[in-house]
Copies of this chain bind each other. A is one copy, B any other.
Amino acid sequence: MKMTPFKTEQWMTDHENDAVFNLTDTCVQPLHMKELLQLDSDGVLDDVVLDYGTITGLLPLKKEIASLYRKADPENITMAHGCSQANEMVMNEILQPGDHVIAFTPSYEQFVRIPESLGCTVTELVLHEEKGWQPDVEDLRRAFRQNTKMILFNSPNNPTGTVFEREFLDACASLCRKNGCWMFADEVYRSASQPSLFDLYPHTVVTGSLSKMYSLAGLRLGWIAADRQLIDRLNFRRDYSIISEGPLAEAAGLAALKAKKQILARSESIISESKAAVTEWLKREPRAHVQLPESGTVAFLKYDAAMDSRTLAERLLKEEGVFFVPGWCFDCEYHLRLGLTRGRKTMEKGLALFSGFLDRCSSHESV
């Protein structure tokens, strides 16, 4: 199976270590192991035996995860190595060569490249910036085919922050009912208050992890929620892949979910602060346009400057230490992915430097 480089991930890998002001990271400021150990008041981490653990996932952990959904039992959950590997397993399990799938653009490249590598045809529906980064129901109806096997949502969407509207989702569900098409939602950016697609529609599979809102990407603890039949199939498939997620990551994840109120309160506070800094800055910066998302950690900033996004992002990083993923990674020029994850101070300083850079560019142009 051929895979082309994943542009966003490669950009992060190649550049993030040079960032002084990381204005693009999608994970809320990461916790340290020491902080997690302090939150582990029951001491579950101390007693871990380093065997494979419970192959299909630690039951108390699956109970905590199931409680994040209205309609899930632990039997509806299986574990993965991060949300990304969860997504890969779902696509590998369900999709066959010749299937058609519907994804969105701009979105996370995984949802296009993996189906393509499996021999599927992909239609990408445009998320319209002028409609608040929402897709069009008519586009959906035109795209849907007899052999459409899956609609792949990332909700909230990376990089636009789109939370798909109920009317659009209802239209999807209505089409899916006709031919048994799956609705698949990567909800890694979902906040506690946002309804999950798992609770809204049948024949739906969703994924999540502790990486973004829980500040614990380092645990690489992801999961899948689906009907029991699909969970059984995925558990069979896991034996050929990760076998188990492992008792250390699972115990750490259990400690984190038991302390989820504290962790999420910290995250919401960092995101709010970051949003406030952006809002203030936008009042003074007419060359930038951002629709701040209702939930999640990302937004897609549009800028007015005669410079392609890749050049701009590279120069900004080199000259000012300000780090963005360019729209080029999402095939969407004159945009930058904005991560609302580093709090007020970093946001304010980084955005001020960005404005200074735009000043210099425009004065240079006018010379």
Contact = CB atoms under 8 A, between A and B. Distances in A.
Contacts of A12: 55
A239 interface: yes
Contact of A84 (B49, B216, B243): B243
A47 to B, nearest CB: 7
B33 A236 contact: no
Specify the main secondary structure of chain A where it touches its partner.
loop
Interface in A127-182: none
A82 interface: yes
A19 interface: no
Count the copies. Answer: 2
A114 to B, nearest CB: 6
A236 B56 CA distance: 28
Contacts of A55: 9, 12-13
A196 B10 CA distance: 31
B242 A85 contact: yes
A51 B22 CA distance: 13
A338 interface: no
Assign chain A's interface to a size class: 35 or more
Given A218-B51, A248-B218, A240 B114 contact: yes
Interface string A236-273: 11011111111111001000000000000000000000
Contacts of A47: 32-34
Contacts of A216: 50
A126 interface: no
Contact of A240 (B27, B30, B113, B217): B113
Nearest to A245: B220
A352 interface: no
A46 interface: yes
B27 A48 contact: no
Contacts of A88: 240-241
A66 interface: no
A45 B27 contact: no
Interface of A: 1-6, 9-10, 12-13, 27, 30-34, 36, 45-53, 55-56, 81-82, 84-85, 88, 92-93, 95-96, 110, 113-114, 118, 211, 215-220, 236-237, 239-249, 252
22 contacts: A1-B92, A3-B236, A5-B236, A5-B239, A6-B236, A10-B239, A12-B55, A13-B56, A32-B49, A32-B50, A33-B48, A51-B218, A82-B242, A84-B241, A84-B243, A85-B241, A217-B246, A219-B246, A220-B242, A220-B243, A246-B249, A248-B252
